[in-house]
Amino acid sequence: MADLNIPNLNMKSDKYIFKKKLSLRRKSKKRLFIESAFMFLFSLFLLYINYLIPNKNLLLQNLPNTLNKTLVVFINLFSNLSEIFLLIFIFISYFISLILFIGAIYRVVKITKRKTKMLNYK
């Protein structure tokens, strides 16, 4: 009887199963300051990288034209993909129909060559 495991009715449900694993302590002011300094430095680094990109205005002006060209390329790609998938379907269906045709002929030949046994009942 010692191995009998009786459920405890006072236990809370597992509704908040991961809540116990969360850190409930607040971050210290020093840690918050260090994180904000890293965020500030990272934002300055990203701004510097953007500053180094040449011809930003020209790129922004050509954006609609570029998007239009990419849309046309994607449409052509998907139209060609549909044709490729159609050809693959045709080859697979021919192969399956050939296998089925050979199987049907094999069964017909097997049925016609079957020797019937004469059972004599006395």
pTM: 0.41
Number of H helices, E strands in the chain: 3, 0
Query: d(Cα 10, Cα 55) in Å, to the nearest integer?
Result: 68
pLDDT digits (tens, 9 = 90+) for 39-83: 999 999 999 999 999 998 998 899 999 999 999 999 998 889 988
pLDDT digits (tens, 9 = 90+) for 35-49: 999 999 999 999 999
Q: Which percentage of the chain shows pLDDT scores above 70?
A: 74
pLDDT of residue 68: 97
Average pLDDT, the chain: 84
Buried b (16+ CB within 10 A) or exposed e, 40-50: eeeeeeeeeee
Query: d(Cα 50, Cα 89) in Å, to the nearest integer?
Result: 48
Residue 18 neighbours by CB distance under 10 Å: 7
Looking at residues 30-37, what average pLDDT do you find? 92
**What residues contact 59, with CB distance under 8 A and at least 6 apart?**
53
